[in-house]
Structure 1
Amino acid sequence: MHKSIAGHQITAPVPCKNAPSRRALRVHAAAATEIKAGAAAKKTQLGDSDLQVSQCCLGTMTWGVQNTEGDAHKQLSYALQDMGLNFMDTAEIYPVPPSAETQGKTDQYISTWLKQQKREDTVLATKVAGFGNKYLRKNGEQTRVTAQQVEESVNGSLSRLGTDYIDLLQVHWPDRYVPLFGAGAYDIANEREDIPFEEQLQALDKVVKSGKVRHIGVSNETSYGVMRLVQLAEQHGLPKIVSIQNSYSLLVRTAYETDLAEVCAPRQANVGLLAYSPLAGGALSGKYTDKAPEGARFTIFPGYMERYTKSLAKQAVAEYAAVAKKHGVTPTELALAWCKQKWQVTSTIIGATSMEQLKENLGAFEIELSEDAVNDIERVYKRFRDPTTKPIDD
């Protein structure tokens, strides 16, 4: 069952040992909020799988670069034990920014925490790299979605995570050429030979049948990719993808809300959206209004984040911040509450480098935006549609 804008009464509220601060839960007369206890932990079905996941998923990609093992354990305990989440997401390439020296640290930090928990209480998602990486495989081979590489990837993930199964294995990015991470329009000059979809599904089928993986999904995928994978799975009796993890936020929404939303809708392919980067790499928090803070993601990963810093996104962020102020919430709360309310979203992936950020992020799920607030957001969106694709001097 997918959520609707009208409400999210999916399961009974989950009691919280340490509720977010009153600042994160405040309600002003002008604010369009209605407090709903335990909202981040409410469960919903992921696509047509048997997985019941919290509508907030704990992201982990900073653990090992921006965060220590101790930081990771504090976040895990607060989010999954105190606040009742049951869903976390990692990847074989993490932490980010990726490097051969740090690769796998995120999984190792998760493992040392997971050893003290009941494994069945956690829905654990990870990813196998698509085309292009050259240090993940033992023989230095360029990563591809082949049977041999998928098995190597899964075995490596299981070893690092200290578990014998993965709940959700996602293809991190397509094996074929697709414009990714803020790149421009599709260019046929960049097309290359790729691993056929059917062969990829056969590779994933092997790890599912072995019991190492329960369900499969995709990430950074297109409508074409989703449809081909779903069609071939049905035609050949292969595993069907149940999820798609794509960037989705107030700044990056058009690409998903048009044809991808239709393809993935429950009455069509029924592929659940796991929305990543709902704060647009932290841009929507407003902390990059002036100079990027020392140690922040934009500071340590400038090239990757230029789509937010050298585009009209800054102007859009200022407009959304004004909407947040009008309705008595922080910019972070506005962005996350909006994402949580969208019918397209099954679970929103949040990531934080401090406990203060994590608590504010989780507190945002207690907020229900009013029709007036949503209308104000839509007015800004009409002026700044796809702002990350437009240079500042346009």
Structure 2
Amino acid sequence: MKMKPLGRTGVMVSDLCLGTMTFGTQTSETGGHRQMDMALAAGINFVDAAEMYPVNPISKETVGRTEEILGNWNASNAARRGDYVLATKHSGAGFSHARDGAPISGQTIPQAIEGSLRRLQTDYIDLYQFHWPNRGSYMFRQNWDYDPSGGDRDEVVANMQECLEALQAQVEKGNIRAFGLSNESAWGTAQWVRLADETGAPRVASVQNEYSMLCRHFDTDMAELSAHEDVGLLAFSPLAAGFLTGKYQGGSVPEGSRMSLVPEMGGRKSDRVFDAVAAYLEIADKHGLDPVHMALSWCRSRPFMTSAIFGATDEAQLQRILDGKDLELSQDVLKEINLAHRAHPMPY
């Protein structure tokens, strides 16, 4: 398993990260605990969660359950807490199940962190991330009509400064060790970096955005920022919510899969997606590769990648992913993937 630096924190993380957003809905507590054991045994030392998880579906009754499941594992494996890097996230504006949908602020940060610490049954969170910016995001298919012109710049920057001060207080208490973003833009990330460099507040270590062969928004401005500011990508949905496995081709909807629960796949589903997936499946078949292994290996090979966050509903899916953890793609395969991307540049 390759290890990568987490920003400038000095922490090293595996370039595969166990995502846990199904723990508590599609994945039982027992199954989640087995996945933790399997992942750590395979050399993965990075686990990602969020206070709003699980998903598929999100409901008031299950919010926080993922952290509780991880917390029960921590309680039963107290000696192993230092063996892995634990990341979780603060929900913000628009998420009514937490703090009545209040935006992220100096007031909500300590409340959210205390709640996560309690559910996770741990004394500290290694990487604390803001799930999305208060001002909105072009992620989740909002790029098609994204309008960044609203809002007052001075107010946005003042809120950032307030949040950094609150994060610094949490670092000093020992509650968190590093700070990360999620669903952020180049401008937003640059502002967080600038303010931290000017004030000595916690510096952004990573940004968790969607990234896969079907979703490559990170390739331009964010890639440049990452290279020069040491803010690596934590890629969520590197298998494009399961599309790149090929399991949804030909109209197939496996029982218990995400598509069986969320038919439109959060706006990802279209004829263009299936055409693009077919092109990548053809490359994998031509070179005798498992498409899951190919998709994850390609993602991990990107120059700005810190870690690819995958999710597995069950242990069989996790084992399939682990079986490809050492794959490195040939230049021929990488070239063909680039050609397929040019032919299918923005399938969703």
TM-score grouping bracket, smaller chain normalisation: over 0.9
What is the letter of the counterpart of residue 132 of structure 1? G
2:139/2:210 contact within 8 Å kept: no
Aligned to 1:77: 37
Per-residue CA shift, 1:233-266, capped at 9, x if unaligned?
A: 111221111111111100001x10101000011x
Which residue number in structure 2 is paired with residue 215 of structure 1?
178
Residue 303 of structure 1: how far off its partner (Å): 4.3
> Equivalents in 2 of 1:191, 1:86: separation in Å?
39
Which letter maps to 2:194? Q
1:200–1:190 CA distance, 2 compared to 1 (3 A): same
C-alpha spacing 1:379/1:188, structure 2 compared with 1 (3 Å): closer
- Structure with a larger share of its residues in helix: 2
Which structure's relative contact order is higher, taking Cα pairs within 8 Å and 6+ residues apart? Answer: 1
* Residue equivalent to 2:266: 305
1:348 to 2:308 alignment? yes
Indicate whether 1:50 and 2:10 are aligned: yes
Q: How does 1:309-328 map to 2 (within 5 A)?
A: 309-328=269-288
Q: What secondary structure, in the 3-state scheme, does the structure 1 residue paired with 2:307 have?
A: strand
- Residue 336 of structure 2 is aligned to residue 376 of structure 1: yes
Secondary structure of 2:184's aligned partner: coil
SS at match of 2:297: helix
Percent of residue pairs identical = 42
Alignment of 1:221-232 (within 5 A): 221-232=184-195
CA distance in 1, matches of 2:131, 2:160: 15
- Residue 130 (structure 1) aligns with: 92
Q: Using a 3 Å threshold, how does the CA distance of structure 1 residues 327 and 128 change in structure 2: closer, same or farther?
A: same
Conservation of the 8 A alpha-carbon contact between 2:241 and 2:265: no
Q: Structure 2 CA distance, aligned partners of 1:130 and 1:384?
A: 33
Could you say which residue in structure 1 is the equivalent of 2:141?
182
Q: Match for residue 249 of structure 1? A: 212
Runs of 4 or more, structure 1, over 3 Å off, are 188-195
User: Which residue in the other structure is 1:204 paired with?
Assistant: 167
Deviation at 1:211, TM superposition (A): 1.1
| Counterpart code for 2:347 | P
Note the C-alpha offset of 1:200: 2.0
Q: Indicate if the aligned counterparts of 2:233 and 2:304 stay in contact, CA closer than 8 A.
A: yes
CA 340–208 in structure 1, closer or farther in 2 if over 3 Å, else same: same
Q: Which amino acid is the alignment partner of residue 340 of structure 2?
A: V
Contact 1:281 1:305 in 2 (8 A): no
* Alignment-derived partner of residue 103 in structure 2: 144
**In the aligned structure 1, how far is the partner of 2:263 from the partner of 2:102?**
25
- Counterpart amino acid of 1:217? G
Name the aligned partner's letter for residue 119 of structure 1.
Answer: R
Structure 1 residue 216 displacement after superposition: 0.2
The match for 2:59 is: 99
Secondary structure in 2 matching 1:207:
helix
- Partners in 1 of 2:346 and 2:199 — Cα distance? 38
| Structure 1 residues without counterparts, runs of 5 or longer | 1-38, 389-394
Deviation at 1:365, TM superposition (A): 2.1
Measure the CA separation in 2 of the matches of 1:188 and 1:50: 34
Matched residue SS, 2:220: helix
> How far, CA to CA, are the matches of 2:43 and 2:5 in structure 1?
16
Deviations 1:42-63 (A, max 9, x none): 3221111121111111000001
Q: Distance in 2 between matches of 1:86 and 1:69?
A: 20
The CA deviation string for residues 179-238 of structure 1, in whole angstroms up to 9 with x for no partner, is 330112322576587572212212222211221000000001000011000001111221
Does 2:125 align with 1:166? yes
Q: Give distance in 2, aligned partners of 1:226 and 1:179.
A: 14
Aligned to 1:294: 255
* C-alpha distance after superposition, 1:82-126 (max 9, x if no partner): 212111000000001321100111111111111233211111000
Does the 8 Å CA contact 1:128/1:169 hold for their aligned counterparts?
A: yes
Matched residues in 2 for 1:68 and 1:317: separation? 30
Matched, 1:385 2:345: yes
Give CA deviations for 1:348-375 in whole Å, capped at 9, x if unaligned: 1111002111111122221111011111
Cα contact 2:130–2:181 (8 A) shared by 1:
yes
Identify the match of residue 280 of structure 1 among 205, 216, 240.
240
Query: CA separation of 1:271/1:188 partners in 2, compared to 1, >3 Å: closer, same or farther?
Result: closer
**Long gaps (5+) in structure 2:** none
